[in-house]
Amino acid sequence: MKEKPDRAAWLKGGETQCNVQAERWARPYRFVLLGAPGVGKGTQAELLTERFGSCHLSTGDIFRAAKMSSCGCPRGPVMAEAVKYMDAGQLVPDETVLALIVERAKCFQCGGGFLLDGFPRTVAQAEALEKLLGKQDVKLDAVLSYELPLERIVARLSGRRTCPLCKRVYHVQARPPKRRGLCDHCGAELFQRDDDRPETIRVRMEAYEVSTAPLIAFYRRKGLTVSISAGETPEETFERTLEALNSRGTLVF
């Protein structure tokens, strides 16, 4: 079983101690992962974490963990409202997302680095992130923008299965677990997400086009966007990611 940062601090809130051993890694890498729902951001985040040790920080994971009450996360009325938006495929309001991020802002200083998956998702969130990082004197290394045609994305989402405990992601055909329905990493029973229904997928795609796609240009103007085709296997897409980062001189060995 491969060692993996436990992400407890991120899921529960900024005060929890996590198990990142920064000294094991060459340097902290800090990336934002962009792309439509189902393009494979979470899958690439797992591979990037294994290679660089950076913590995978996903706002979607926080909302799902709160929904399942599986992490001891507080679930007050604001979080209950956020989960309703998520189940309908709509974006959670910026103010709720930003309150969550501010609570966890200490994680940005982690010596292991971080991968932001699902945040920022609007220009307002990106501007707020810029301010938060600026205050902590932390800089992003790159924004990885994954691209894939819509019909292939829908096929990926409908076959997705997720581990409720360690959050690993599988696909019934493209990336099946070794034992049917069970997580390879921790043995938990895999589940299908409520927002992976066809009618909800359509709403999520629209929200992406209207609110999140403009971030590609936002970060391009800052010289941070790295575009990567996500049409190959996860491992090939990961190799493309490394090549793209290497060719712009981001990686140090």
Q: Tell the smallest beta-carbon distance from residue 62 to ligand AP5 (Å).
A: 8
Catalytic residue among 27, 175, 193, 197: 193
Quote the CA–CA distance of 11 and 34 in Å, as a whole number: 20
Backbone angles phi, psi at 38, to 5 degrees: 85, 0
| Residue 121 appears among annotated catalytic residues | yes
| Residue 168 appears among annotated catalytic residues | no
Residues 103, 13: contact at Cβ < 8 Å?
A: yes
Catalytic residue among 121, 167, 168, 240: 121
| Residue 160 appears among annotated catalytic residues | yes
Query: Among 199, 41, 58, 209, which residue's Cα sits nearest to residue 122?
Result: 209
Kindly list the residues in this chain that would bind ligand AP5 in the complex (CB under 6 A): 35, 37-43, 58-60, 63, 85-86, 89-92, 97, 118-119, 121, 125, 156-157, 159-160, 169-171, 174-175, 195, 204, 230, 233-234, 237
Residue type, 27: R
Phi-psi group of 77: left, alpha or beta (phi > 0 → left; psi -120 to 50 → alpha; rest → beta): alpha
Q: Tell the smallest beta-carbon distance from residue 27 to ligand AP5 (Å).
A: 25
Phi-psi group of 89: left, alpha or beta (phi > 0 → left; psi -120 to 50 → alpha; rest → beta): left
| Residue 204 appears among annotated catalytic residues | yes
Q: Tell the smallest beta-carbon distance from residue 22 to ligand AP5 (Å).
A: 25
| Residue 193 appears among annotated catalytic residues | yes
Sheet strands side by side (includes 113-117): 55-58, 113-117, 29-34, 142-147, 225-229
Catalytic residue among 12, 104, 160, 167: 160
Residues annotated as catalytic (active site), given as ranges: 41, 121, 160, 193, 204
